[in-house]
């Protein structure tokens, strides 16, 4: 009997020890779970920790990016929009997309503000994108590690392609607050100019310039006060030859007002105007259009190569030539889209998810190059031009080819 009692005491002790072990394991599991959640929040932020969290706001509606690169030859004013490559349609607009007003608008007053200082912090990787959704949904795909590390982990632009008054301020605010919470600089792309894409596949935008001006005023309500890079209306200047002279004047005046409004709302924001790319207009012609659109007085410089493939070295040369012809403050600079220009442009006519292309330089604001402010991924690599998948949809095989090219 004493042996039985002793055995029972031993058994009770073992049970108590097991209970303590289980309790410790539960606490450890909770700590690991909390740490994992924190890691997800801070992924890609160089381990930087912040106690500031963005206030709740509606998540941005991420739109398909222009799927097709802009033309590699000058667009002639007499050409039909269907004869030149176009861009993928964004989400349906809440209003029809009539032609631009043919009434010339008064030019905006030149801004006396000096260019904003170049962003000192790193760039923001938004936690929602087509590539991240694919990565999360395909954990066992053999292409996943390469796509995740070489594409999904990189910061990229967030496009605002819907004319959505009443919503746009909240969508922009969600992005800028998220970036501010982790000490990063967002890249924002307003894309709602009237008569967008000259009636091509990405047609849409605001119904007229008064509506567009109001949309921009709502846009800046979400801009915040921290560093930001604004890529103002891709193709709006380089693809303006389809408009009448009065239509171009109205568009350029509206772009000048938009630039002034963005910079006045947030002096830390750098606003870049459409510079086309090195395979399109001659530098002097593009500079003249940029000057007419107020780029020298209402912006901080130009952007080039959006959704295209031209080599970075060619774009640097071209951008400097455009800036020299543009004149204006010495601080004007350029940003270059390097998202898929690693192997340069394909043969003429091969614009739709062309084979043999590769990722370009990773996004950075530290280029080490005179007058080149940043290399950015404005067009998200892996989003289809319409051949390897639906226009604007993420195409994993195409993405994998870019990442391994």
What DSSP string describes 308-371?
----HHHHHHHHHHHHHHH---TT-EEEEE-TT-TT---STT--SS-TT----SPPBS---STT
Q: Please identify every residue annotated as catalytic.
A: 197, 235, 385
> How far lies 260's CA from each of 10, 71, 245, 362, in Å?
81, 29, 23, 30
Q: What is the pLDDT of residues 3-26, one digit of tens each?
A: 444 444 444 555 555 444 444 333
Mean pLDDT over 135-152 rounds to: 98
Alpha-carbon distance 196 to 264, whole Å?
A: 25
Give the model's pLDDT for residue 209. 98
When pLDDT is cut at 50, 70 and 90, the band that residue 253 belongs to is very high
Q: What is the pLDDT of residues 197-220, one digit of tens each?
A: 998 878 899 999 999 999 999 999
Beta pairing class for 301-304 and 269-274: parallel
Q: Which of 41-55, 127-141, 302-316 has the weakest average pLDDT? A: 41-55
Q: Which of 97-111, 302-316, 375-389 has the weakest average pLDDT? A: 97-111
Residue whose C-alpha is closest to residue 82's, from 202, 183, 200, 178:
200
Q: Which residues contact 56 (CB under 8 A, 6 or more apart)?
A: none
Which of the pair, 119 or 390, is modelled with greater confidence?
A: 390
Query: Which two structure tokens, joined as six digits, stand for 21?
Result: 């072990």
pTM, whole model, 2 decimals? 0.74
Which of the pair, 88 or 212, is modelled with greater confidence?
A: 212
* Helix 209-221 with 168-181: angle, nearest 10 deg: 30
Residue 59 has pLDDT above 70, yes or no: no
Residue 325 has pLDDT above 80, yes or no: yes
Residue 60 has pLDDT above 90, yes or no: no
């Amino acid at each position: 009997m004493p042996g039985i009692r002793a055995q029972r005491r031993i058994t009770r002790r073992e049970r108590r020890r097991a209970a303590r072990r289980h309790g410790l394991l539960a606490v450890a599991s909770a700590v690991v779970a909390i740490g994992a959640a924190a890691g997800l929040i801070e992924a890609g932020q160089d381990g930087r920790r912040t106690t500031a969290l963005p206030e709740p706001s509606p998540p941005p509606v991420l739109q398909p990016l222009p799927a097709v690169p802009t033309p590699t030859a000058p667009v002639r004013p007499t050409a039909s929009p269907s004869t030149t490559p176009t861009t993928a349609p964004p989400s349906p607009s809440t209003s029809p997309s009539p032609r631009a007003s043919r009434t010339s608008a008064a030019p905006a007053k030149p801004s006396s503000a000096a260019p904003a200082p170049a962003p000192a912090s790193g760039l923001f990787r938004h936690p929602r994108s087509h590539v991240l959704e694919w990565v999360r949904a395909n954990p066992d795909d053999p292409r996943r590690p390469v796509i995740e590390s070489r594409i999904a982990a990189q910061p990229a632009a967030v496009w605002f392609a819907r004319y959505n008054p009443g919503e746009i301020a909240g969508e922009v605010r969600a992005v800028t607050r998220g970036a501010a919470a982790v000490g990063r600089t967002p890249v924002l792309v307003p894309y709602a100019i009237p008569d967008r894409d000259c009636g091509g596949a990405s047609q849409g935008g605001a119904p007229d310039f008064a509506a567009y001006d109001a949309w921009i005023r709502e846009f800046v309500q979400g801009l915040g006060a921290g560093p930001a890079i604004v890529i103002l209306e891709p193709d709006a200047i380089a693809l303006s030859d389809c408009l009448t002279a009065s239509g171009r004047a109205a568009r350029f005046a509206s772009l000048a007002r938009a630039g002034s409004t963005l910079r006045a709302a947030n002096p830390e924001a750098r606003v870049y105007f459409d510079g086309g790319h090195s395979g399109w207009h001659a530098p002097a012609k593009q500079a003249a259009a940029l000057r007419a659109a107020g780029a020298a007085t209402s912006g901080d410089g130009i952007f080039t190569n959006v959704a295209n493939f031209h080599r970075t070295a060619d774009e640097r040369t071209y951008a400097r030539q455009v800036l020299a012809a543009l004149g204006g403050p010495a601080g004007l600079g350029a940003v270059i889209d390097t998202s898929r220009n690693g192997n340069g442009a394909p043969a003429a006519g091969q614009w739709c998810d062309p084979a043999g292309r590769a990722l370009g330089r990773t996004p950075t604001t530290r280029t080490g190059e005179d007058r080149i402010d940043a290399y950015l991924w404005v067009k998200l690599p892996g989003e289809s031009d319409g051949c390897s998948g639906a226009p604007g949809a993420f195409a994993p095989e195409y993405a994998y080819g870019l990442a391994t090219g």
